Amino acid sequence: MLMIGSPGTGKTMLARRLPTILPPLSPAESLSTTRIYSALGRLKSDEPLLATRPFRSPHHTISDAGMVGGGSTPSPGEISLAHHGVLFLDELPEFHRRSLEVLRQPLEEGHVTISRALHSSTFPASFILVAAMNPCPCGYLGDARHACKCNPVLIERYMARISGPLLDRIDLHIEVPAVPFQELSANADGTSSSVMREQVARARQAQRQRFGIDSPRTNSRMTSRQLRKYCPLDVEGRNLLKNAMEDLGLSARAHDRILRVARTIADLEGTADLQPAHVVEGISYRSLDRKLWAR
């Protein structure tokens, strides 16, 4: 997920809350993640097994080796430390280009292989990538409360720091607007993490029934064959997706990701069949595709 919004709209806060709505680590997940932390000597003395999903937030000056791992004797990097958890990249365009491009293979495959002259090592790296960025260098493009001081060339250069292939691998492009004063000062509580966690648990249960109780596969890892089997569209849904592909210039990868997102939306609603509304919502989460194609 990539969140785009002006400074102070709550992007970092939302990212840090994400682990609170995810299901608890299963015994197998806990053991797999604990091995990584144990190999690096990062286990706490009073915590022999990790009980909570990791949340990693590296600084934007991190090197590509720090991100994926490396060294003469390869050791895990940040993406492996985020295994079965969340990797949060704040100010995404400020990261070095190489540090971002090395994420492409792990996002697809769930692991990373580091090769050296004498041997190679493979580390697990199945994580949820969450990134945040401003809409422009000054941060106030489209903000009704502040005037943007950036010219189009600066905005173009800023957006170009994130490559198309990386954006193509991000399922959700979310615009985060400023929260109005009335909502900040309201006494009414919003939806709590516990309620959201129950919704996520029900959706995960539907996916376990779909793929098999013992399968770790979720909608995000569906193969092309599984997409055809579990994401059939009616005529209206196919036409909506076809028009989006043509109008936005979407890739085959984006096509599959829209279907995976639509299937997840249906699972959250408890709906067995994909409806056109699910496809429309999945398409709506490709906001940067729309902007890049418009330019």
> In the chain, at which residue ranges do the beta strands (DSSP E only) sit?
2-4, 55-56, 69-70, 75-76, 86-89, 111-115, 120-124, 128-133, 173-175
Q: Please, are residues 63 and 99 in contact by the beta-carbon 8 Å criterion?
A: yes
Give the C-alpha separation, 85 to 81, whole Å: 8
- Residue 60 corresponds to which tokens in the numbers above? 């934007």
Label each residue of 229-248 as H, E or C.
HHCCCCHHHHHHHHHHHHHH
Q: What confidence score (pLDDT) does residue 182 get?
A: 83
Give the C-alpha separation, 37 to 49, whole Å: 10
Q: What confidence score (pLDDT) does residue 290 get?
A: 56
Give the C-alpha separation, 292 to 79, whole Å: 28
Give the C-alpha separation, 81 to 67, whole Å: 10
Q: What confidence score (pLDDT) does residue 285 get?
A: 92
Q: What confidence score (pLDDT) does residue 92 get?
A: 96
The residue written with tokens 């173009």 in the block is 156
In eight-state DSSP terms, residue 164 is H
Q: What confidence score (pLDDT) does residue 99 get?
A: 94
Consecutive 10-residue runs of the chain (295 residues): their mean pLDDT? 94 94 92 93 86 95 92 88 97 95 92 83 94 94 88 91 91 90 79 92 92 80 91 95 90 93 96 94 84 47
Q: Please, are residues 170 and 131 in contact by the beta-carbon 8 Å criterion?
A: yes
Q: What confidence score (pLDDT) does residue 294 get?
A: 45
Q: What confidence score (pLDDT) does residue 78 get?
A: 96
